Amino acid sequence: MDVTRIVGPIEVTGTLFGSLVHQPIQWRVVGNGGVELMNAPESTKTAGTELLLRYRREGFVALATHAWTRSTELDPDSAMRREVPLTPAHAGSLNAIWEGDEWGRFGIEVYFIGRQALEENPYRSVGRPHVLIGALGERRFGSLRLFLNAENLLDVRQTRDDPLILPAPRPDGRWTVDAWAPLDGRVVNGGIRVTF
């Protein structure tokens, strides 16, 4: 369910959501060290909210979002309910872009990813909250456009906190932990666009 209200240059949208997945597929380690796929006897339950604020005026757009998610499932090993792994409880963003027909555009984006439960990770049980910042610039010269795009300007990397490689393979054969933060660090690229 969502409700949207627009007042002049401001748009506000609030959303409530939920889902119930009956008999989701899970895996667990069995006595001989193998892996067994099974349908969980309890449902996966998810509920949350989203808030979106948008401001538009004369070539400028700003967008702020926040999401809260609560998602639980049955832990196949302990038979107790747990948070669904890799599902942040809080996430948010702030994006702004200025655009002019003559000169080009410039934008900046900031994302917040909150803590999230981890699974089969010997280094930590909860991922660290982190902030990602990116920027985009484009300059127009007639039919020619030069652009520069930068992502993860703070150079956030999961490997700064923990190794990716496990001390021993998982029962399913994988040698790495799940990614809960960026793995590639800062990325900058640029180029030229020609319009006809």
Number of domains, the chain: 1
Distances (CA, A) of 143 to 28, 94, 100, 157, 190: 58, 31, 14, 38, 17
**DSSP three-state, residue 160:** helix
Q: What is the pLDDT of residues 46-56, one digit of tens each?
A: 999 999 999 99
- pLDDT above 90 for 176: yes
Torsion on CA atoms 180, 184, 185, 191, rounded to nearest 10: -130
Q: How confident is the model at residue 127 (pLDDT cuts 50, 70, 90)?
A: very high
Q: How confident is the model at residue 125 (pLDDT cuts 50, 70, 90)?
A: very high
Nearest of 93, 165, 99 to residue 133 by alpha carbon: 93
**CATH value at residue 180:** 2.40.170.20
Nearest of 22, 21, 116, 31 to residue 77 by alpha carbon: 31
For residue 108, give its domain range.
Answer: 2-194
